[in-house]
Amino acid sequence: MDFEIVSRDHQTSARAGKITTAHGEIETPVFMPVGTAATVKCVHRRELEDDIDARIILGNTYHLYLRPGLEILEKAGGLHGFSGWNRALLTDSGGFQVFSLSSIRKLKEEGVHFRSHIDGSKHLFTPENVVDTQRIIGADIIMALDECTPGDADYNYARKSMELTVRWMKRGWEHFRNTTPRYGYEQAFFPIVQGCVYPELRRQSAEEAAALGAPGNAIGGLSVGEPAEKMYEMIEVVNEVLPDDKPRYLMGVGTPANILEGIERGIDMFDCVMPTRNGRNGMLFTRNGIMNMRNKKWESDYTPIEEGGASFVDTQYSKAYLRHLFVSGEFLAMQIASLHNLAFYLWLVREARKQIIAGTFKQWKIQMTERVTARL
């Protein structure tokens, strides 16, 4: 994997770059649609490729490991072969999913013991075997195993958790370097910075990650309950330490405003389930604000979902029609809303890139943040 910075904003830390993988080039800043279980919910592969031109999507190691399972994935030639997606893929390590299973998992030095949410069977993730699992899945970019601490964790818990993540990170990196890809193309390993909302811990974790010299770095454990301003503060602390010439991936974040704030602080990569999850529940993100499509105010509004919009969805369907689909419980409502929201998120990061290159990012970001946070 290669990364180059194409342009920088002179008023902020924002930058426009390009990541090159075996499955294509990715212009940054980039938003990665989340394909948890080998699919982006409610969205066809054709729509991802042709309608919104997604260059990279995310798969979930925990879910793919449990179902369909590694044997089936390996026989298919990895997730690319299994799903038919021929562009870039990133997989997380499963750490966040195991974090969310707090009642049925146990953390130990060797790794994390957990029970499947599907059938209750017992499993163990170690820093080494999650590398092996992601080798089999075959993503272009793979993640280190980490513990994701809650946003309200106290200092002592956060310190011990961060130190455990660092030890796991080093073990995972060593194992990655001593193993080879399975499908004839290179994979890139990203360590994950933890440390909750404590600058000292974040800085220490970032120093340990940077010292590995990996091709990129991720920032985890944010947008998990801490105030937004704390999240932005932690991004600034970490990005002072992480190497400038490597891509920085902010995991699981977030709202359009969160993404704009992250770009301003030097983040290159984002993912979040929000566009599809909220879309399935009737929330649409647009350039002019947020719409609840179940509201009666859209009942007889025959204007497009978003005039001059980012994809064919915006001009094909009216607000009145989409509201009708939602209140009628039609599955098409979830499809249209999910695709619209993804189209908007990808438009947002691509427009940010254009503004960075043009030297107008700062003012545009101020105006756009105010617009995208409005309630319509």
CA atoms of 112 and 147, how far apart (whole Å): 9
Three-state SS at 184: coil
CA atoms of 75 and 67, how far apart (whole Å): 14
Q: Is 95 annotated as a binding residue?
A: yes
Q: Evaluate whether 257 touches 369 at the Cβ level (below 8 Å).
A: yes
Active-site residue flag, 271: yes
Residues near 312 by beta carbon (within 8 Å), at least 6 away in sequence: 51
The 8-class DSSP code of residue 318 comes to B
Give the pairing type, strands 269-271 and 30-32.
parallel
Catalytic residue, chosen from 9, 140, 268, 271, is 271
Q: Is 308 annotated as a binding residue?
A: no
Bridge partners for 35 per DSSP: 59
Phi then psi for residue 240, to 5 deg, are -70, -20
Give the pairing type, strands 141-143 and 30-32.
unpaired
CA atoms of 105 and 294, how far apart (whole Å): 38
Q: Is 102 annotated as a binding residue?
A: no
DSSP string, 272-317: -SHHHHHHHTTEEEETTEEEETTSGGGTT--SBSSTT-SSHHHHHS
Catalytic residue, chosen from 9, 92, 140, 268, is 92
- Listing from the earlier edge strand, what are the strands of the sheet with 105-107? 105-107, 112-115, 122-125
CA atoms of 16 and 87, how far apart (whole Å): 20
Q: Is 221 annotated as a binding residue?
A: yes
Active-site residue flag, 268: no
Q: Is 111 annotated as a binding residue?
A: no
The widest CA-to-CA distance across the chain, in whole angstroms, is 62
Q: Is 146 annotated as a binding residue?
A: yes
Q: Is 24 annotated as a binding residue?
A: no
C-alpha 300: how far from chain center = 36
Helices 331-358 and 361-372: crossing angle in degrees, nearest 10, is: 160
First to last CA, the chain: 42
Q: Is 225 annotated as a binding residue?
A: no
Residue 75 exposure: Cα atoms within 13 Å on the Cβ side? 5
Q: Residue 188 carries which side chain, given as an amino acid letter?
A: A
Q: Which residue positions form the known binding site for substrate?
A: 92-96, 146, 194, 221
Enumerate the active-site residues. Answer: 92, 271
Q: Which residue positions form the known binding site?
A: 92-96, 146, 194, 221
